[in-house]
Amino acid sequence: MRYLILGNGPAGLAAAKSIRASDAGAEILIAGEEPSGPYLRPFLVHLLGGEREAEGLGDPQAAGLAESGISMRLGMRAVRLDIPAKAVVFADGSVESYDSLLIATGGRPAIPHKLRPFPERVLPIDSLANALRIRERVAIPGTMAVLGPGFLAAVTALALRRAGKEVVWLRPGEPRFGHPEGGKVDAEVLSAAAAAGITVFDGGGVAEVGDTGEGLTVTPSRGGWPVTVSTVVIATERHPNTAFLRGSGIESGTGVLVDDELRTNVPEIFAAGDCAELYDRAMQESRLNFGWRSAMAQGRLAGENMTGAGKAYLRTRDEYFWRLFGPPLRDRFKG
């Protein structure tokens, strides 16, 4: 039996370990898109001000994979899924076959169209490589802007401020997915951000962008004025990374549609983590479970079910919504 896992994040690693625990003789291959090995994505913000180094971000889940016979290939970006052939085609032209496939490709942030012409100055905090590029730009004089609605934007703005930068937080509104803070907590976070010296344009996305030669002039869509910045850090919501599935026959909504066992409409293909969209029949609504813990839980379950366990996903409200890690969001602005 050959298991192919697309994605070496928390869902993919957890699934691989679950498969190995259930099937000692299975051939298991994890294909990761990034050239770097597995790391703890929630800690990328700690790189920005030098609180951590890249070497200290390794994911403990990756320990012992090789010893247990789990193979991993890095720099492998999936570009096409061939269901009849039970194979995945990668950007380098290689092809990997499978008997059972897990799609755990996570998500990537959306960059507004008006910012896309400036890739050297507009950087998403979505990978180890980009986090290190943002860190390099901290040394460049000038204000830095952070664009995003929620938790990631808040902690990124704080990290840059603690690194000594003047920071503008462009906060376009409540996140559509995950768990918005809302109400009193939301107000406290905005107040604390202002107290930390962060300029907050609440409800303001990006209306206009101009190139000054040495930076960008960004005009918020509401409640602000044009600001000149050296860099815009994109901390918007992560949207499921599923473009390679177009035309494959896998049913998708916002993410890959799965049933209670995390199985897609193709029996031997499963999905877990940020790219999976779960449908709640009782509430008649779909949810995307962004977050590290949720991805690990889904990955473990998907791995078990790929080996025939037939277990249903327990859809409590806590499992639907994104949980914050470490101190509460408002407390991160203190001290």
- pLDDT of the chain, 335 residues: tens digit per residue: 999 999 999 999 999 999 999 999 999 999 999 999 999 998 999 999 888 999 999 999 999 999 999 999 999 999 999 999 999 999 999 999 999 999 999 998 889 999 999 999 999 999 999 999 999 999 999 999 999 987 889 899 999 999 999 999 999 875 555 444 455 556 777 788 888 999 999 887 899 999 999 899 999 987 778 999 999 999 987 889 999 999 999 999 889 999 889 999 999 999 999 999 987 666 666 777 667 888 898 999 999 999 999 998 766 655 554 443 344 455 555 55
The answer to whether 289 and 256 have CB atoms below 8 angstroms apart is: no
Secondary structure (3-state) at 237:
coil
**Do residues 178 and 35 both lie within one domain?**
no
Residues sharing a CB contact under 8 Å with residue 315, sequence separation 6 or more, in sequence order: 260, 278, 280
Tell me the residue type at 298: Q
Q: Which residues pair with 168 in a beta bridge?
A: 145, 199
- The model's pTM: 0.89
Q: Which residues pair with 170 in a beta bridge?
A: 147, 201
Tell me the residue type at 281: R
**Do residues 8 and 95 both lie within one domain?**
yes
The CA distance from 190 to 276, in Å, is 31
Maximum Cα interatomic distance, the chain, rounded to a whole number of Å: 62
Report how far Cα 189 is from the mean position of its chain's Cα atoms.
Answer: 22
Domain that holds residue 100: 2-108+239-320
The answer to whether 32 and 76 have CB atoms below 8 angstroms apart is: yes
For residue 322, what are its two tokens?
């994104």
**Do residues 27 and 84 both lie within one domain?**
yes
**Do residues 89 and 19 both lie within one domain?**
yes
What is the CATH classification number for the domain harbouring 313? 3.50.50.60
